[in-house]
């Protein structure tokens, strides 16, 4: 059964339920998409795993963030202990959390965090490319390997998150490069920048565009040059999810940028990915437009770590209960609604 056929069958099942046609709005579409990726008219949201890649970014040297790499380390420790913001939310959403060190500046193992560290933070991309070709490939392969492992453990839905001070700047630079935009189009205040800090961030992105001629670079070279290890690992995870037939729930801006770059490599990405929320970052609209996506949540969130996926899955489970309950019109002695073209 093809993905498109399964999607249409699930959509028809929704229409036969005792409710107005499209009464649950975009939830019906995204849940049908998830089922189609899984190849089943039964839609599985469990077990769901939130996969978080953590890394540091050398561009923080330019003062583009209120915080420094020490915060990355402290949040990573909190993730490992299960006491970070997203840890509490994931528990409430009945999601497993897997945190992966793909490039934290602080050296040494962190309890509760998987150690797949490629290098202790990227280079400052205003001085030289963020990653070497070898580092870049290793980071992508970390993402792929994690998805293979999760598939083998029975994961049905993969949610993606990230953590790393400076990664809204690396994401903005990547997006500016691939969409031929400029800093003012893609930069926002991230984790609490001042007006002067935002101006500095915009200038950093514009300097990188000129330094590397980003608008004329191939997508993967853009990502290697101004991106982050976390974004590269996310790209690998998304690409491998296409191979493994696992639906992917993207969180916010950083994971959305990763989805855009993965899509440049494999057009199947559009079929497997769902965007959990609209997000506050200015650049999100370019990503959502590329995927013709309509996130079910518009809550002005800007937290990252996969927090949006937790809220999405909680709400999606509520909507799925209607599908699984399978109350038909005949069960309530009512004629079916008709879908008009």
**Helix segments in 63-125, DSSP class H:** 69-81, 85-92
Q: Are 238 and 258 in contact (CB under 8 A)?
A: yes
Distance (Å, rounded) from C-alpha 18 to C-alpha 147? 38
Distance (Å, rounded) from C-alpha 121 to C-alpha 143? 17
Write down the residue that tokens 């229409």 correspond to.
15
DSSP 337: P
- Residue 162, beta-bridge partner list: 53
Please tell me which residue in 28, 240, 281, 305 is annotated as part of the active site.
305
Query: How far lies 106's CA from each of 88, 110, 126, 130, in Å?
Result: 25, 9, 22, 17
Phi, psi of 244 (to 5 degrees): -90, -10
| Segment (H or E) for 236 | helix 229-244
Burial class, 118, CB count within 10 angstroms (exposed 0-12 / middle 13-18 / buried 19+): buried
Write down the residue that tokens 């790499």 correspond to.
69
Q: Is residue 305 among the annotated active site residues?
A: yes
DSSP 335: P
Omega before 8 within 30 of 0, i.e. cis: no
Question: Would you say the C-alpha torsion 80, 84, 88, 94 has a positive or negative sign?
Answer: negative
Query: How far lies 135's CA from each of 58, 79, 121, 140, 226, in Å?
Result: 14, 24, 11, 9, 13
Q: Other CB atoms closer than 10 Å to residue 88's CB: what's the count?
A: 13
Please tell me whether residue 17 adopts helix, strand or coil conformation.
Answer: strand
Q: Annotated active-site positions, please? A: 305
């Amino acid at each position: 059964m093809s993905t498109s056929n399964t999607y249409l069958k699930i959509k028809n099942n929704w229409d036969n339920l005792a409710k107005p046609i499209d009464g649950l709005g975009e939830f019906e579409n995204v849940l049908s998409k998830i089922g189609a990726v899984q190849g089943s008219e039964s839609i599985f949201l469990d077990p769901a795993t939130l996969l978080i890649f953590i890394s540091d970014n050398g561009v923080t040297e330019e003062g583009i963030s209120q915080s420094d790499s020490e915060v990355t380390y402290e949040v990573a420790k909190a993730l490992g202990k299960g006491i970070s913001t997203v840890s509490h939310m994931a528990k409430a959403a009945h999601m497993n959390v897997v945190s992966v060190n793909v490039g934290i500046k602080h050296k040494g193992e962190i309890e509760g965090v998987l150690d797949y560290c490629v290098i202790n933070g990227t280079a400052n991309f205003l001085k030289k490319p963020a990653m070497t070709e070898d580092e870049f490939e290793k980071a992508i392969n970390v993402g792929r390997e994690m998805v293979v492992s999760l598939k083998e453990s029975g994961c049905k839905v993969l949610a993606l998150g990230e953590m790393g001070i400076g990664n809204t700047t690396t994401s903005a630079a990547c997006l500016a490069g691939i969409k031929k935009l400029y800093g003012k189009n893609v930069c926002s205040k991230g984790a609490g920048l001042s007006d002067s800090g935002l101006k500095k961030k915009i200038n950093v992105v514009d300097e990188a565009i000129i330094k590397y001629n980003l608008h004329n670079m191939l997508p993967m070279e853009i990502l290697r040059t101004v991106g982050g290890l976390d974004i590269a690992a996310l790209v690998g995870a998304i690409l491998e999810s296409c191979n493994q037939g696992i639906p992917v729930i993207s969180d916010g801006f950083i994971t959305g940028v990763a989805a855009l770059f993965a899509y440049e490599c494999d057009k199947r990405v559009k079929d497997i990915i769902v965007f959990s929320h609209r997000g506050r970052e200015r650049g999100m609209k370019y990503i959502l437009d590329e995927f013709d996506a309509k996130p079910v949540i518009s809550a002005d969130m800007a937290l990252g770590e996969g927090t949006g996926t937790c809220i999405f899955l909680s709400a999606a489970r509520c909507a799925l209960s209607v599908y699984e309950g399978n109350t038909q019109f005949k069960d309530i002695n009512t004629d079916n609604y008709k879908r008009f073209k």
